[in-house]
Structure 1
Amino acid sequence: MNLRFLHLNDGIPSPAGPKNAGLDAATGTYMCMLDSDDYLEPGALGWWYQQITAEQADAVIAPVRHEAGGIIKTPRARPCRVRDLDPVKDGLAYATSMRGLWKSSIDGVGDVRYVPGLSTGEDLALGLQMYFSGAKFLFPKNGPAYVLGNSAEDRVTDRLLPLNDEFRAMAVLPEEWLQNLSVRQRKSIASKIARTSLIGAIRRRGPEHDWACKELAAVQAAAGILEGMAPAYRRAMTACDSKLLESSLTASEGSEFFRNAIKNHRDANLVSKIFTRKLQHNLDVDSQLRQLLRAALDRRS
């Protein structure tokens, strides 16, 4: 094995630059990306290589855990599902960070590149394009894991960025690529982004945040992107999530309406945090109830 250390000083506050520099320098058939402060469990790389070659797969999605020991239950794959993964049925959109072992060239993806210049979410477009490319993925849930380190005192992903910056990743998803996906696939992507990016960003800031013109406008622009991507995606959202999303679209600057909507979302009862507004929509593959049931059936700890 040849080990090279590369130096990059591009002056851009984005992790995409160093990652793309590494990809440009790589010459192997497979690639594995390791973020700062993270590490692999002993034997992980060799074990993944054995799996990917034995199954003639395009990628191995690594199980991920925290350094403290807790397993992160993403992607939200069906119980006992190790191969023949479906991007919608197995919730691959929830694991867009490239963790595991991948072919350096995958049909339908083109150049493997992170989106330059993004402060966060630089892997969203790449991960989604890979998962929805029709490639063959393996998910050995009980194999060696990718470990998220706890040593970093100031991870970029933990900072509160201006919302225009935080939402740029969804705004730059390739429009032509999105339109070539099925309605079902776009709905799955929109549901994931709404939960983890849009609602997550609102909750982290809370009702006490300064919801001034730029911040509220960024929320409304993001909500509009998701509505345009898949208008039916909100049917699979919980009652309280759906209400917050509706409020974000109709709120006006400086009013207490949006702050109250965030308070109501935070204080919502358990039923509205789990179930959709209409009973039949709880059967949707993207519903929170289905997600919780899968997590409960996943006995890893």
Structure 2
Amino acid sequence: MPSAPTPLVDVIIPVHTTARPVDRTVRSVVAGGLPISDSGGVHITVVCHNVGADLIRDRLAPEHRPLVELVECSDGTGNPAGPRNLALERSSARYVSFVDSDDTLAPGALAAWTAVAERQGSAAVLPRLVRSAGGVLRTPVPRPFRRADLDPVKDRLAYRTTSLGLIRREVLTGRGLRFQGQYATGEDQGLTARAWFGGGRIDLAPRRAHYIVHDDAAARISRGQRPLADDLAAFTDLLGGSWYGGLAAEQRAAIAAKVLRVQLFSGVHARAPQWSPADAQACRELTDLVAAVAAPALDVLSRADRDLLELIVRPGATAAEVVAASARRRRFGRPATLLTRDLRTVLHRDAPPRFMAASLVV
């Protein structure tokens, strides 16, 4: 008996509301440079998350409806982990590509990504993330002009926490990696960290084959005002887990430095005007954990970062103080945001001068 046809790529698009321009996303996948076919081409899976498949089908152009498999996922949550995991478990493709339902791919992007993966044997191919309104999301931050066979530490892969791009399916299924729906945000942190630091080859996609992040959706699922402890939970659990504890010291420090810079300081900045004792407690717990499992991560922070860090763990810090300190650490290019406290670490790859210089060419 002949085996069932197998797609080369399964493009997985979760959608949770009819307000999302999902047909715009599908149209960009169709223009991705590969045939839409289950026999060595692209399979398009649109996961209707807590919304009827018929309603989403009506949002698709008539010519696109036969090209899309609509799968319903009803879990009563707003977390995208459930629909992504469902589609991943159903997939038989060699590669999977997760695309948000309000985003698009550059023309020919899928063909370019898979060409790299097939030629190099890539575990993942990471595209440039370009904002539709202008600008670039500068993650990861590789060594200047380094585009192939990236090193998770030297090329700062920890900063790429999204699963956007192309991933060899067996990299996820073979290791039992899944999106973690128990967290309010950061559901892909554990998956991507294990994928990037798991020993497989990681390559960058050609610059023209980019992923386009649109900002015209009414709301993104991951946005929302929550207790800071909730927003940090995925990252606190990661740093306190056995997988992380088994990494080399420089790998632990690379991930921890990213968590402090991106998750902690961004969360603090958003909540600074309403700063609370509960916020300070969440900061103390994460900072104490970093000091215990990845203390060198503290040494690569700027002086302004360290000043803010010491303030937010201090009982009695006022909202006005946190607002001012958070603003100071965002005045990039000044001595306080460029220099580390110990000048012996100022030229470390994760310290501000080299990090900022590398980010300019992303």
TM over 0.5: yes
1:18 to 1:28, Cα distance in 2 relative to 1, 3 A: same
Contact 1:40–1:145 at 8 Å: present in 2 too?
yes
Confirm whether residue 122 of structure 1 aligns to residue 122 of structure 2. no
The residue aligned with 2:125 is 60
1:73 to 1:17, Cα distance in 2 relative to 1, 3 A: same
Which of 229, 239, 245 is the equivalent residue of 2:309?
Answer: 245
1:105-128 CA-to-partner distances (Å, cap 9, x unmatched) read: 128971231012222100111111
Where does structure 1 differ by over 4 angstroms across 4 or more consecutive aligned residues? none
For 1:111 and 1:143, the matched residues in 2 are separated by 32
For 1:109 and 1:72, the matched residues in 2 are separated by 30
Higher relative CO (Cα under 8 Å, sequence separation at least 6) belongs to 1
Q: CA deviation at 1:61?
A: 0.8
Q: CA deviation at 1:176?
A: 1.4
Residue 284 of structure 1 aligns to a residue in which SS?
Answer: coil
The residue aligned with 1:146 is 211
1:162-193 CA-to-partner distances (Å, cap 9, x unmatched) read: 11210111122171111111110000000000
The residue aligned with 2:245 is 179
For 2:109 and 2:219, the matched residues in 1 are separated by 27
Contact 1:244–1:262 at 8 Å: present in 2 too?
no
List runs of 5+ in structure 2 lacking aligned partners.
Answer: 1-36, 38-42, 44-67
- RMSD, aligned α-carbons: 2.0
Which of 291, 301, 304 is the equivalent residue of 1:227?
Answer: 291
Which of 284, 288, 297 is the equivalent residue of 2:352?
Answer: 288
Q: CA deviation at 1:261?
A: 4.5
Mapping of residues 4-23 of structure 1, within 5 Å: 4-23=69-88
Q: CA deviation at 1:34?
A: 0.6
Contact 1:104–1:112 at 8 Å: present in 2 too?
no
Which of 189, 194, 212 is the equivalent residue of 2:260?
Answer: 194
Contact 1:248–1:258 at 8 Å: present in 2 too?
no
1:13-58 CA-to-partner distances (Å, cap 9, x unmatched) read: 3111111111111111110001121111111111111110011221
For 2:233 and 2:75, the matched residues in 1 are separated by 20
1:34-87 CA-to-partner distances (Å, cap 9, x unmatched) read: 112111111111111111001122111111101123222211011121112111
Q: What is the percentage of aligned positions where both structures have the same residue?
A: 27
Which structure features the higher share of strand residues?
2
For 2:254 and 2:282, the matched residues in 1 are separated by 22
Contact 1:105–1:111 at 8 Å: present in 2 too?
no
Letter in 2 for 1:25: R
1:198-252 CA-to-partner distances (Å, cap 9, x unmatched) read: 011111222x2141x3222222222222222301211100001012212233x11
Q: CA deviation at 1:141?
A: 4.7
1:176 to 1:144, Cα distance in 2 relative to 1, 3 A: same
Letter in 1 for 2:254: S
Residue 23 of structure 1 aligns to a residue in which SS?
Answer: helix
Count residues in correspondence. Answer: 293
List runs of 5+ in structure 1 lacking aligned partners.
Answer: none
1:59 to 1:37, Cα distance in 2 relative to 1, 3 A: same
> TM-score, length-normalised on structure 2?
0.76
For 1:108 and 1:280, the matched residues in 2 are separated by 42
Moved more, 232-241 or 261-270: 261-270
The residue aligned with 1:137 is 202
